[in-house]
Amino acid sequence: MLDQHTKDVVKSTIPLLEAAGPALTKHFYQRMFEHNPELKDVFNLSHQHSGGQPVALFNAVAAYAKNIDNLGALAGAVEKIAHKHTGFLIKPEQYAIVGGHLLATLQELGGEAVTEEVLSAWGKAYGLLADIFINREAELYKQTADKQGGWQGTRRFVIKAKQVESSVITSFVLAPVDGEAVVDFVPGQFLSLSLGHEQLENTEIRQYSLSDAPNGSTYRISVKAEQGGKVSNLLHEHYHEGDEIDVIAPAGDFVLDADADTPVVLLSAGVGQTPMKSMLNQLLAKQHNGEITWVHACEDGEQHAFAAAINDKTAEHDKLSSYVWYREPLADDKQVEHYDFSGTVELDKVAKHIQPNAKYYFCGPIGFMSAVKQQLLALNVAESQMHYEVFGPHASL
């Protein structure tokens, strides 16, 4: 544990951190990759270029300093980050590298304000946090490896099937090359691919939500070809049935957790429906007693993935209702037949399904999720009933 003096010194640096802002963590990443280029095979470099990862790290560092007296307040964030780290196969020894560059960054940007006392306090504080992550990640690695079909590290999989779902989304069914079982996951979790390809300068690790219920033998992910997306477009254009990929075991803390009689509302936009598909298929497979409501938004009919599958399931299951919004319907898109509403999601149009005791899971662009959250709050849904996932670096709504 940290002594009070150390905590007070760390808290005294909060104005310095806030003045530096994300420039602090941008400098940190530049420094780290310059001195330890091997870590480019671990970190998602696209998130560096977009600026999302430096902002996320700055928010995490600032939150740690502000909550240094009450680390329990960070338990949720720690769990989320630990799961993300296992999806990148983060190792204990890498924490020492990160810590060294973090302290050096403070010293280089903080000037005279960063005294030896400040460096010592932050060194102790970082050491405590690193130990928390190392221990939790070791537990997660072991839990997964010890389960039937589990493993640690990478495992070789073959693309068993490749299915175009829309103009921008394609599904990949992955089966282990060794023919053995694969560990079950909780719907909502993600799978990590570790890709080495002649078109890539570094090994690139990407995390994609699993889009079907667990079956013990294969996994399915559904990938959107992002504009300018180096890895997503590579998967779409250059990976085919029969090709092999290194896969890291499922992880993630965004998981379906609802009693059999609890109403469940699944809300998504675009490729955000992938974890929702996994949740929906599991709920139906388990013959969920509570009402299930599917709310999905996308650009138009060409980008609407899994439309036929959802329609079939709605026809088969009395307790499942589906509502679809097209932001800008195409000339061939027919209301009622292809979609229910145009524009952006307005939950008051499906208010009969918005119940205080229901559980709400949502995923999609930040703007969509923020709007969903505000609408749910306006419809008297408690924030504790809401669960969401941000693709990429975490952000609060």
Residues at the binding site are 85, 206-209, 270-275, 390-393
Q: How far apart are the first and last CA of the chain?
A: 31
Asked if residue 61 lies in contact with residue 6, where contact means CB atoms within 8 angstroms, the answer is no
Active-site option among 29, 95, 141, 361: 95
CB 192 within 8 A of CB 223: no
* Residues 269, 298 contacting (CB under 8 angstroms): yes
Contact indicator for 81, 394 with CB cutoff of 8 Å: yes
List, as residue ranges, the binding site for NADP(+). 270-275
Query: Is 64 tagged catalytic?
Result: no
How far apart (Å, rounded) are the C-alpha atoms in residues 363 and 372?
A: 10
Give the pair of three-digit tokens for residue 182: 């694969």
How many Å apart are CA 140 and CA 250, to the nearest integer?
A: 10
Query: Which residues does the annotation place in the binding site for heme b?
Result: 85
Distance of CA 378 to the CA centre of its chain: 26
Active-site residue identified among 29, 64, 126, 137: 137
Which distant-in-sequence residues (6+ apart) come within 8 Å of 131 by Cβ?
A: none
The answer to whether 141 is a known catalytic residue is no
Which residues pair with residue 264 across a beta bridge? 292, 359
User: Residue 239's Cα: distance from chain center in Å?
Assistant: 23
160 touches 173 (CB < 8 A): yes
Question: In which region does residue 270 sit, left (phi positive, over 0), alpha (psi from -120 to 50) or beta (all else)?
Answer: left
Q: Which residues are catalytic?
A: 95, 137
